[in-house]
Amino acid sequence: MAPALVSNATDLVQYRIEDSQPVDTNAPKGFIERYIHGEMYKHYPEVNSVIHSHSPEVLPYAVAGVPLRAVYHMAGFLGTEPVPLYDFQDSYNQTESQDLLIRSPKLGADLATTFLKMENSTADPPITKPDYNVVLMRKHGFTTFGSDIQEAVVRAVYTQANAKTQTSAAMIRGAFEALTERQAQAWVGGTNATAFEPLTTQEAIDTEPAIRATSDRPWNLWVREVEVQPLYRNNG
């Protein structure tokens, strides 16, 4: 069932965290990629909501070899480093299907550990919260999480918005650099153009709590949009 068509509790299926299998053995067929969610919950007790997306704005950064960076204040949660990239080819064995789907606990676990910095991947005791808030998936999409549904949704929405902004900025920058020196000087009023750059370390650190503190504003708007959209039905 497509998520937008869920309308009541009978449409929901519960899964065990330990193996991502349904609690009810007679449950309807579920999503293949539930291992994304199950392994994140298994690895990180502080994670309570996981979102996986094929956003067309973000997908190019999982294909082009160009790092996705936090470039505006709403995306400080992306951090001060390039967003990590999980490559399925590093996980496949010789016999399994290479369909770029997280269809096993092994692939789900490999994706989950990509949320950790290298030095923390073998920590003892294990790290209970990811180091990175978003991970790109090569030729596939991205995954993010939150301590609750609202935080996960906010991160997913603004990861997409950040990618769109970065792409637009890069295109504008490329067009500007194609100008002659005389044209460029006229455009910027005779001074040098500001460099194309991501958020600074301090900007990324400071913007995340500021945006988290005001996330109720967009969240309540998104909830209302769902409530009045005829596609979505709540049948109790």
pLDDT band at 187 (very low <50, low <70, confident <90, very high): low
Q: State the pTM of this model.
A: 0.89
pLDDT for 194:
64
**Lowest-pLDDT choice from 81-90, 96-105, 178-187:** 178-187
What tens digit of pLDDT does each residue of 136-180 get? 999 999 999 999 999 999 999 999 999 999 999 999 988 888 878
pLDDT for 144:
98
C-alpha to C-alpha distance for 79 and 159, rounded to whole angstroms: 11
CATH placement of domain 3-228: 3.40.225.10
pLDDT at 229 over 80: yes
Contacts of 228 (CB under 8 A, 6+ apart): none
Maximum CA pair distance of the chain?
A: 71
The residue-averaged pLDDT of 7-33 equals 93
What are the residue ranges spanned by the domains of the chain? 3-228
What tens digit of pLDDT does each residue of 107-117 get? 999 999 999 99
pLDDT band at 184 (very low <50, low <70, confident <90, very high): confident
pLDDT for 195:
65
C-alpha to C-alpha distance for 144 and 17, rounded to whole angstroms: 18
What share of the chain has pLDDT > 70, as a percent? 96
- In sequence order, the β-bridge partners of residue 186 are none
C-alpha to C-alpha distance for 157 and 146, rounded to whole angstroms: 12
- The catalytic residues are 33
Q: Is the pLDDT higher at 134 or at 199?
A: 134
